[in-house]
Amino acid sequence: MTGLRVVLVEDHPVYRQGLALLLAEDDITVVAEAGTAAEGLAAVAEHLPDVVVMDVHLPDRSGVQVTRHLSTHHAGVGVLVLTMDSSDDTALAALRAGARGYLLKEAAAETIGRAVAAVARGELLVAAPVAARMAGLLTRSSPGPAGTVLPAGLTVRELEVLDLVSRGLGNCEIARRLFLAEKTVRNNVTALLSKTGVGSRAALVALAHEHRLAGAEPDDG
């Protein structure tokens, strides 16, 4: 996907400028740069970009708070969090706030460009180290804490799909790994969203991590 329009919200000007040059190589146009949350919100309102690439730690407001505001007032704008903070708590907070991507600044240059394109397509992308820890919770043999079993229950297939969704995989890759039709995967994701009552793939990953759904007993169906 080329011709994307991006707003950068990053308080380190040297890194921000370097990132703008890097994205330009992938035919991604940085329409505005901001060093604070307030500047970022103003830039988004003015330019309505495809994606906001944002740090978590900003001088006037957290990137998580900005993401929550954007998901409410500019739902069509994708947010890719790009940060040094690899903590599970921060990643979960960002995903719950509505971020479509959570990437670490240590990522390879080409990965960042692909991540922006993925977020613009509406895909969920989580940095591999963070996603691996989230997925690890889904494969624990011990049951989760009381009250974490979903009322409607999950089927075996839905748990398999949930595991791969939690790793940040798209429907096409999940279908390939499970030898399913992509439409079947979409149907399973829709069922997961319905059963959990969450509104996005990002929120689904956050819920899976938080509630350790591997401890839930699947239905026979």
Cα separation of 135 and 116, whole Å? 23
CATH number of the domain to which 162 belongs: 1.10.10.10
Q: Which tokens hold the place of 135?
A: 């997925």
Give the residue ranges of the chain where pLDDT is below 70: 1-2, 131-156, 210-221
- Same structural domain, 109 and 11: yes
Containing structural domain, residue 101: 4-126
User: Is the pTM for the entire model greater than 0.75?
Assistant: no
Cα separation of 92 and 52, whole Å? 18
Q: CB-based contacts of 182: which residues, under 8 Å, 6+ apart?
A: 171, 172, 175
- Same structural domain, 143 and 188: yes
- Same structural domain, 155 and 184: yes
Cα separation of 76 and 186, whole Å? 21
CATH number of the domain to which 51 belongs: 3.40.50.2300
Per-residue model confidence as pLDDT tens digits over 159-199: 778 878 887 788 898 888 888 888 999 998 998 888 777 88
Give the number of domains in the chain: 2
Per-residue model confidence as pLDDT tens digits over 42-53: 999 999 999 999
* SS3 category, 101: strand
- Same structural domain, 95 and 16: yes
Cα separation of 180 and 27, whole Å? 34
- Same structural domain, 120 and 139: no
Longest dimension (CA), the chain: 56
